[in-house]
């Protein structure tokens, strides 16, 4: 199949070194990896058209392209998230995407409800999805994080998670230390270390009376008391630190048009 109409969904590259690309094509997904020998100029490593032009027609039974000084198509058995405790499995094509919140997280509509999807774009990101799924399983029903709604699949393999969207919230600040540390303390009761206490990982209600945690990608289970105490002691500094910013302007602009221009028969997340 000619790749001229393939749609780039995800990309990660270091110009001149390597590039990883995820495409939607005729209702399925394929991946490409470019190495240092790929005939790409520096600015082209992240340019959809330049990468796509290198791809010869894709055999229908292939899902992987290795791009070097030539291109080799193959079928690769892609890994999936092994820890999938929730009974619900949702094909990401069932989601109606609305807005990229960052390069992995998308605000969507699912069964008339607003939800947030988070995916492992590439195999090396699967451990983060597994860590989050494990944390959500332990805290399920305890109002520490958003409700966990199910596991997301691509071509049948588990590679993402779906959570409820909570409107009317804002990121935590130093003024919200009390409600944020209360939530962090409840997480620590389950011996889970958050691992990343930046302000964007705390969603605070409009009245400032409640906070929940929205990102468990760096969490650690069976944490010791000393490490958890250190995390609590450092929370104020994290909430006051403005260096962390989850906004991803490139994908907010680059990915947005996919939601309106790409047919629903294709993958859009």
Cβ partners under 8 Å of residue 127, min gap 6: none
Cα–Cα distance for residue pair 224/215, rounded to 1 Å: 20
pLDDT by position in tens, the chain (length 269): 899 999 999 999 999 999 999 999 999 999 999 999 999 999 999 888 999 999 999 999 999 999 999 999 999 999 999 999 999 999 999 999 999 888 899 999 999 999 999 999 999 999 999 999 999 999 999 999 999 999 999 999 999 999 999 999 999 999 999 999 999 999 999 999 999 999 999 999 999 999 999 999 999 999 999 999 999 999 999 999 866 555 455 555 556 667 777 888 889 99
User: How confident is the model at residue 245, as a pLDDT?
Assistant: 54
Identify the residue whose tokens are 């451990």: 127
Q: What's the pLDDT score for residue 255?
A: 65
pTM check: above 0.85 = yes
Give the pLDDT score at 161.
Answer: 98
CA distance 205 to 191: 25
Domains of the chain plus CATH, in order, are 3-74 (no CATH), 79-264 (3.30.200.20)
φ/ψ of 17, rounded to 5, equals -120, -60
Distance CA 196, CA 219 (A): 8
Q: Is 98 exposed, middle or buried (0-12, 13-18, 19+ CB in 10 A)?
A: middle
């Amino acid at each position: 199949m000619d790749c001229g109409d393939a749609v780039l969904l995800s990309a990660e590259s270091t110009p001149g070194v390597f590039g990883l690309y995820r495409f939607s094509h005729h209702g399925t997904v394929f991946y490409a990896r470019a190495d240092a020998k790929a005939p790409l100029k520096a600015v082209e490593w992240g340019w959809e058209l330049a990468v796509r032009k290198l791809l010869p027609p894709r055999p229908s039974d292939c899902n992987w392209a290795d791009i070097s000084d030539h291109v080799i198509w193959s079928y690769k058995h892609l890994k999936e998230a092994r820890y999938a405790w929730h009974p619900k499995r949702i094909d990401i094509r069932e989601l109606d995407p609305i807005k990229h919140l960052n390069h992995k997280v998308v605000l969507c509509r699912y069964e008339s409800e607003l939800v947030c999807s988070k995916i492992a774009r590439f195999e090396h990101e699967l451990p983060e999805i597994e860590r989050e799924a494990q944390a959500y399983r332990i805290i399920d029903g305890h109002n520490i994080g958003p409700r966990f709604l199910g596991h997301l699949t691509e071509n049948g393999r588990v590679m993402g998670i779906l959570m409820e969207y909570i409107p009317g919230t804002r990121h935590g600040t130093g003024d919200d230390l009390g409600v944020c540390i209360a939530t962090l303390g409840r997480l620590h009761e389950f011996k889970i270390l958050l691992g990343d206490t930046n302000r964007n990982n705390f969603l605070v209600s409009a009245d400032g009376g409640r906070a929940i945690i929205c990102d468990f990608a760096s969490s650690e289970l069976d944490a010791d008391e000393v490490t958890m105490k250190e995390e609590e002691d450092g929370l104020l500094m994290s909430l006051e630190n403005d260096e962390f910013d989850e906004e991803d302007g490139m994908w907010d602009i680059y990915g947005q048009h996919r939601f309106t221009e790409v047919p629903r028969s294709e993958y859009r997340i």
